[in-house]
Structure 1
Amino acid sequence: MYQLTFSFEEFLAEFWQKKPTIIKGGFKDFIDPISPDELAGLAMEEEIDSRYIAKHGSEWDVRHGPLTFDDVPEDNWSFIVQAVNHWHEGAARLVTPFRQLPNWLLDDLMISYSTPGGGVGPHIDQYDVFIIQGSGKRHWRVGPKKDDYEEEFGHPALRQIKGFEPIIDDMLEPGDILYIPPGFPHDGYAIETSMSFSVGFRSPKKQELLSSFADYVIANEIGDVHYHNPDLPARQNSGAILDDEFNAMETMMRSLLDHPEVMKAWLGEHLSNSRHELDIIAAEPVWENAEVHQFLKSGEALKRLGGLRAFYYPEQPSVLFINGERFELPEECGDAAAQLCDAETVTQAQLGEMVDHPAFIDLIAQLINLGYWYPVE
């Protein structure tokens, strides 16, 4: 089990979305949770997002997966695999220490393998990231947050900038952590063959929230009401949109947001959707309720699928939002949602008497058969 060596509360107060920092020895005696060969195997898979990035002099070469490694140079190249926590259980354990942050902010665990000189060039990201140095050493530079960095187009697939004066200029060794908030330019390259593990947190944008809510409103036929004005006055200026008319239609739109239960249902479904593919394998044969009940009563554990997004509202402890869907239990199931969404594994010891509730067992059977939870081996 990976454990942080620093106070997360103090880190949040001083650094979170405020300034970048290097935490030396953030993980003690750090060992890579995945080998380069295993990572390369994932990069060869069709459904897994991966990239190969190399620099030849001033020229950049970028290829998107599935990758092959038959003809790669000796150095100055990297390959990157997204959402490894969805596909490799050992690597997924690296995310657990960061669950002191909200799961709905978590994006993924990205892992890069770099030969000496390998990197992606100076660039700016719009998400929070903890870059954990694994085996090998890597040199990192981080610059101040500004609005006037000039873009450089070394390759169409790379959004690079021309350069910056560093406020951090240091080398990371195994177990060191570099935290970078959104908007701070950074550039890292491998000093020797190395592995880097990036736990990324991505907050939603206004645009995507508005677009998603509009889709939800349409799909659920909410607000299917026309503008009406029985007191419409006659006018000479027929081309004008009068203030009263503008205000009435603006009020119509705003009224869609005036339903907290609708907003909560939409947001729960929206945030529980994953941006990355999941390694979902439906149960075969399907589990019957009696089998699920016996499994839990015997003391066995169920584990949530890596990368699966599962959330709840504390004031609605029997409603769950899982992978874009809403699931509801009877109120007497109490903190069922918290048990399933807060913990990565669930056992009878955690569930108590709930393990004997037919509706809860029925839900667990559904989740197992969907491939969302599975027995711990």
Structure 2
Amino acid sequence: MSFELAIDWPTFLATAWQKKPVVIRQAFRDFQDPISPDELAGLAMENEVDSRLVSQTAAGWQVAHGPFSDFDHLSESHWSLLVQAVNHWHPAAAELMQPFRALSDWRMDDLMISFSVPDGGVGPHLDQYDVFIIQGAGRRRWRVGNNDVVAQHSPHPDLLQVAPFEAIIDEVLEPGDLVYIPPGFPHEGYSLENSLNYSVGFRAPSGKELLSGFADYVLAQELGSRRYQDPTLGLRDNPASILTEEADSLRAMISGLVDSEDFTPWLGEFLSQSRHELDIAPPQPAYQEDEVRDALEEGTPLHRIGGLKVLQLASHTFINGERFSSTVPGFLNLLATTTEIDAEQLSPFIEENSVLTQLTGLINAGYWHFAGEEEEGDE
């Protein structure tokens, strides 16, 4: 199943991206849901999958976290089941991410899918990342406010909401419609009937996440061992004072690490790590190189597992937090740009022993699999 998104990206980026929320009617024409409510509920029963159930009762807001054993206790209204990173576990749903690759792989986070009954929602809230919300089966009313709302409160320890706001968008979305919401714009959606929604979220690391991640890398690699020096030290009137030039020198020691050649490999490793668990299932038994060659010569395509980030920065390629290199031009670029690789695309490379060895290792790591191998696990 493939999805075609009717959007003029240059115009959208110039007029809407991180500027204003917009509704795009029939962004996906003749939209067909890639997943059923029963399949979504099945995923929410799995230990590896991040899911939650949000409901509103007379006693207030309630939140329960999966995995769930059953849903028999639920009423016919006022609840939503939300499942994160469905693109990691459901290949058909993962196809919804493809049209958004135009905005770069490293910025895309995951596909969250929600099933809601009438009046189901999570209340008025705001996000600190860009999100495209696609309407699947059913209808849902969306209200979006301006980005001048900052006060948040927690009606439940696991919910962060905002006060009621004046809407600048108040629309009912139908299958195939899409609403884009930039960071900081409050919004709320309530189902008018049983409905499915698909949220494509974008990653936006904070400064403290970057600093913390790089600090961990510096420690692990034993970098930054050079100590502070002051060969021109002089006397001062106040022994308690730290001189401005001394503070500048200390700051330069930190910025020197960030400006060093070590920052680029760390950044690639950091950004290529998934925030959610991947559906990694190494083949048993492991493939031998000649078996990989035979499968490719028979024309069997290779599929990348859902949610795996393959990124390129400078001369490096990064796969799930690891740095890779190849002496064969174009091979790693093919892995990075293509999620489903035809055997014919690999034929120019496969005669190189180093490529065959590297490809076999990636298959045995569970990052790529031959077409058809996922079917048994999806049943």
TM (norm. structure 1) is: 0.95
Please give the per-residue CA displacement for 1:4-43, whole angstroms capped at 9, x wherever unaligned: 1232232222211111111100001111100111100111
Q: In the alignment, which residue of structure 2 is the partner of 1:327?
A: 324
CA distance in 2, matches of 1:356, 1:101: 34
Q: Does 2:126 correspond to 1:124?
A: yes
CA distance in 2, matches of 1:278, 1:329: 25
Q: Structure 1 vs Structure 2: percent identity of aligned residues?
A: 49
Which AA in structure 2 matches 1:301?
P
Over the aligned positions, Cα root-mean-square deviation in angstroms equals 1.4
Please give the per-residue CA displacement for 1:80-125, whole angstroms capped at 9, x wherever unaligned: 0000000011111111111111110111000000000000000000
Q: In the alignment, which residue of structure 1 is the partner of 2:233?
A: 232
Q: Which moved more, 1:159-168 or 1:232-241?
A: 232-241
Q: Which moved more, 1:148-157 or 1:37-46?
A: 148-157
Please give the per-residue CA displacement for 1:124-166, whole angstroms capped at 9, x wherever unaligned: 00111110000000000000011x4432332121101111100
Cα displacement (A) at 1:236 = 5.0
8 Å contact from structure 1 (residues 348, 355) kept in 2: no
8 Å contact from structure 1 (residues 131, 178) kept in 2: yes
CA distance in 1, matches of 2:53, 2:46: 14
In structure 2, the residue corresponding to 1:94 is in which secondary structure?
A: helix
Q: Does 2:351 correspond to 1:356?
A: yes
Runs of 4+ in 1 over 6 A off after TM superposition: none
8 Å contact from structure 2 (residues 325, 332) kept in 1: no
Aligned length: 370
User: Which one of 75, 89, 92 corresponds to residue 91 of structure 2?
Assistant: 89
CA distance in 2, matches of 1:237, 1:13: 55
In structure 1, the residue corresponding to 2:262 is in which secondary structure?
A: helix
CA distance in 2, matches of 1:13, 1:288: 50
8 Å contact from structure 2 (residues 302, 343) kept in 1: no
Cα displacement (A) at 1:375 = 0.4
Q: Does 2:137 correspond to 1:135?
A: yes
User: Which one of 75, 78, 81 corresponds to residue 80 of structure 2?
Assistant: 78
In structure 2, the residue corresponding to 1:355 is in which secondary structure?
A: coil
Please give the per-residue CA displacement for 1:331-374, whole angstroms capped at 9, x wherever unaligned: xx112222001110112322342121111111111110000000
CA distance in 2, matches of 1:231, 1:264: 33
Which AA in structure 2 matches 1:204?
P
Which AA in structure 2 matches 1:336?
F
8 Å contact from structure 2 (residues 308, 319) kept in 1: yes
Q: In the alignment, which residue of structure 2 is the partner of 1:301?
A: 301
In structure 2, the residue corresponding to 1:321 is in which secondary structure?
A: strand
In structure 1, the residue corresponding to 2:14 is in which secondary structure?
A: helix
Within 5 Å, give how 1:52-201 maps onto structure 2.
52-57=53-58, 59-67=60-68, 68-146=70-148, 148-201=149-202
CA distance in 1, matches of 2:254, 2:174: 53
Q: In the alignment, which residue of structure 2 is the partner of 1:41?
A: 42
Cα displacement (A) at 1:239 = 1.8
8 Å contact from structure 1 (residues 311, 337) kept in 2: no
Please give the per-residue CA displacement for 1:198-253, whole angstroms capped at 9, x wherever unaligned: 11112211111111111111111112111122333344532221223222212211
In structure 1, the residue corresponding to 2:167 is in which secondary structure?
A: coil
CA distance in 2, matches of 1:89, 1:26: 21
CA distance in 1, matches of 2:152, 2:277: 30
- Judged with a 3 Å threshold, the aligned counterparts in structure 2 of structure 1 residues 132 and 101 are, in CA distance, closer, same or farther, namely same
TM (norm. structure 2) is: 0.94
- Judged with a 3 Å threshold, the aligned counterparts in structure 2 of structure 1 residues 23 and 58 are, in CA distance, closer, same or farther, namely farther
CA distance in 1, matches of 2:297, 2:370: 13
Please give the per-residue CA displacement for 1:38-85, whole angstroms capped at 9, x wherever unaligned: 100111111111010111136111101112312111211111000000
In structure 1, the residue corresponding to 2:263 is in which secondary structure?
A: helix
8 Å contact from structure 1 (residues 297, 355) kept in 2: no
Which AA in structure 1 matches 2:45?
M
CA distance in 1, matches of 2:167, 2:184: 14
Q: In the alignment, which residue of structure 2 is the partner of 1:345?
A: 340
Cα displacement (A) at 1:289 = 1.4
CA distance in 2, matches of 1:207, 1:153: 23
In structure 2, the residue corresponding to 1:41 is in which secondary structure?
A: helix
Q: Which moved more, 1:131-140 or 1:234-243?
A: 234-243
8 Å contact from structure 1 (residues 29, 175) kept in 2: yes
